Amino acid sequence: MVLKLILLVVALLAGMLVWRIVRGNGALPAVGSPAPDFALPDQHGVTHALREYRGRWLVLYFYPKDQTPGCTRQALCFRDAYGEFTARGIAVCGISVDQPASHARFAEKHGLPFTLLADAKGRIAAAYGSLIDFGWLKFARRNAFVIDPAGRIAAVHRGIDPAQSAERVLRSVTRDS
């Protein structure tokens, strides 16, 4: 009887966990809506705010964790396409819930030329509908947002493939700009 009760509790907790992952934590901002504001430290401890990017295109891409295979692949794709982004006047910022020191090691190890923002509490990821929150453990969902020069959401890329995210995002900016 006790074993059945334990199994039932474990099954319920697992079900809640799966439901929370599938459901997500908040809605993605809609295309045309104002981009949620942010002020976050980068890999060097310098704070960046949305208002600094007014007047130019901005790509915010959320990723789960520094130094993991998928996130590394995604970062390398953005690194390799970075010249195309900058040639078109498009800023790129990666965001995860890792700390600035983790971002610094990640950027240095892989030669990442763009800004990595540290959303340690997950508030900005939540504002962008991109937070997976287990309470004691948080991750950002792999989503990307294109923000136009007026500060509005121009494109939303949900659950983006790490190997194709930079190319897909660049195509959407080129189409919108």
| Residue 158: per-residue pLDDT | 93
To which CATH superfamily is domain 26-176 assigned?
A: Glutaredoxin (3.40.30.10)
| Average of per-residue pLDDT values in the chain | 89
Q: Which amino acid is at 28?
A: L
Average pLDDT, stretch 153-177?
85
| Residue 177: per-residue pLDDT | 52
Rounded Cα gap, residues 132 and 20, in angstroms: 8
Q: Dihedral angle at the C-alpha atoms of 4, 8, 11, 12, nearest 10 degrees?
A: -170
Q: For residue range 10-35, what is the model confidence (pLDDT) as tens digits?
A: 766 665 555 555 455 568 999 999 99
In the residue annotation, 71 being an active-site residue is answered as yes
Banded model confidence at residue 51, pLDDT cuts 50, 70, 90: very high
Confidence check: pLDDT of 140 > 80: yes
pTM over 0.75? The answer is yes
Active-site residue identified among 35, 50, 58, 71: 71
| Sequence spans of domains, the chain | 26-176
CB 115 within 8 A of CB 85: no
Token code pair at residue 131: 């937070």
| Residue 8: per-residue pLDDT | 67
